[in-house]
Amino acid sequence: MKSATLLSFTEENYLKAIYSLTQKHGSPETSTSHIAEQLSTKPSTVTDMLRKLADKKLIAYEKYRKIELTKSGKQLAILVIRKHRLWEVFLHEKLQFGWDEVHEIAEQLEHIQSEELITRLERFLGFPKFDPHGDPIPSANGELHAGQRITLSDVQINKSCEVVGVNDSSAVFLKYLQQVDIGIGTKIKVLEKISFDGSMAISLPRKVSISVSKKFADNLMVIL
C-alpha cells in the first residue's frame, strides 16, 4: 500500500498535472506540450521528466507516442489531490481563508510527507466530502466517489439540495455568492422555474426567497 520510493515535490506536481489534464480532456492520454503549459515549463524539460517517471513505472510512455498514468502513478496523483483538497478545507473552514485564497497555499501544503498527518487532519475536519470549490475529496485508498454532483439548474421544483461548489470561480461570482450568503453546505430549495429564461426562485435558510438567473443556476454545483 505504501510506495517504497518517495517522490520529489516536482515529480508529484507532474503526476498531478498529468492527472488533471486527462480528467479535463476526457482521454486518459495527454501530450508533452500540454503538460509543459500546465506547469509553466518548457516541453524539453517535460520530456526529461517523462523518461524519469517512466523509469519509475508511474507513467506508460513511448517517445513521440502516448503519455498515460499507470495504476500506481494515478494512485499517487490522487493522493496528492486528496492532500490538496483536505488542506483547502482546513484553510477555509478553520482559518477562514476565502475560496479564492486557499489554492495557492494548498499547493505547498499538499507536498508535506506524512500519511499520519493526513489521516488525522481528515478526522479533525470531520471527514469532509468536498473541498471549498466543491471538488470531491478522494478517500485514503484513492477512491473518488463523485457522488451525484449536479447543477442547481438540474434540481426539480420543490426539491431541496445542498451546495457543494461552483463551476465558475470568478471573483464576481464568488462575491455575489457571499453577498447572498451562499457557501459550501448551504441548503437550497427550488420554489419555481421560469421556462421563459431559465431563471428560478429559490429559498435559503432564514431569508426571503430570491430569484436567480439561469447562468447563476448553471454555475452552482449541488447534491440532492
Partner DNA sequence: CATAATTATTAGGCTCGTCTAAAAATATAT
Partner DNA sequence: ATATATTTTTAGACGAGCCTAATAATTATG
The residues near 14 (Cβ < 8 Å, ≥ 6 apart) are: 35, 39, 46, 49, 53
* Residue with Cβ nearer DNA (21 or 91): 21
| Residue 96 partner contact from a second copy, DNA, none using kind-dependent CB cut-offs of 5 to 8 Å | a second copy
**String of contacts with DNA for each residue 52-91, x by CB under 7 A:** x--------x-xxx--------------------------
Q: Which three cell numbers stand for residue 187?
A: 441548503
The C-alpha cell 471538488 sits at: 135
Distance CA 149, CA 151 (A): 7
Q: Which string of x and - marks every residue 7-46 that binds DNA (by CB under 7 A)? A: -xxxx-------------------xxx-----xxxxxxxx
Which SS3 state, helix, strand or coil, does residue 2 take?
A: coil
What, of a second copy, DNA, none, does residue 114 touch, CB below 5 to 8 Å by kind?
a second copy
The binding site for a second copy (CB under 8 A) comprises 91, 94-97, 101, 104-105, 108-109, 112-114, 116-117, 120-121, 124
Q: Which is nearer to DNA, 37 or 154 (by Cβ)?
A: 37
Amino acid at 162: E
Question: Do 99 and 92 contact (CB within 8 A), yes or no?
Answer: yes
